[in-house]
Amino acid sequence: MLNYKAEKSIEALRRLVAPRAKVVRDGLVQEIASRDVVRGDIVLIEEGDEVPADARLIESKDLAIDESSLTGESESVKKEAKVLEEDIPLVERRNLLFMSTVAVRGNGKAVVVGTGMNTEVGKIAEEIRETKERPTSFQLELNALGKKITYGVIGIIAFILLVQFLIGAADFATIFLTAIALAVASIPEGLPAVVTIALALGTKRMVKRNSLVKKLPVVESLGSVDTICTDKQDFD
């Protein structure tokens, strides 16, 4: 339930701040949702606007872009609508605007050359999506605990069955049923519920402090953090 509420709250925030873009279509300036921008559209960029897609500048006037979301550099980059040499790295091309970057000064006009996953930001997102998610330290500890319990139970059952077989305390059918009963009784059925409740309580406390957590195991991982590594622009 807490996961559901967190996801709904985050989705509501996304809708609230859904970016919009000004485009020129059929000779008229229109304001549309950034997600509706298509390749070939001419977009108008002004101070404070978020670039809706990768685009090639065709006009610019003292235009500077904050590309920290893409490159990690806090200094704004001056953009110019001029032809550049082909051997210049893509992210250093001063005549290109990149999706999710923000205009901090001036204005310009650009033609869209890439949208969605066909942008530089989209390519980064695709690489992240393809990266396999590693288990948290908490999940690793639970897995280790489960293995220890399993090995311990197997050892105890084997010992009991061996003793019963050697002393002839029961026939094979009885010994087999005893093994099954011991195996079932040793399963910690309440452990998943206890873990979920503990993580849910931690999430609830974080919600009271205005922090939304989408995945419960992250709560324990945050508690294990010793050092936070971040770019310099993330601090005031």
Q: Is position 236 annotated as part of the catalytic site?
A: no
Q: What is the DSSP letter of 119?
A: S
| Structure-token pair, residue 160 | 């009991």
* Distance from C-alpha of 198 to C-alpha of 177, rounded to nearest angstrom: 35
> Looking at 36, 62, 171, 231, which residue is catalytic?
231
| Structure-token pair, residue 198 | 């503990």
**H or E element in which residue 190 lies:** helix 190-208
Q: CA separation (Å) from 219 to 120, 128, 142, 181, 236?
A: 31, 21, 15, 36, 26
* Distance from C-alpha of 115 to C-alpha of 131, rounded to nearest angstrom: 22
| Residue length of the chain | 236
Count CB neighbours of 103 within 10 A. 21
- For 201-220, b/e burial (b = at least 16 CB within 10 A) is ebbeebeeeeeebeebbbbb
Active site residues: 231
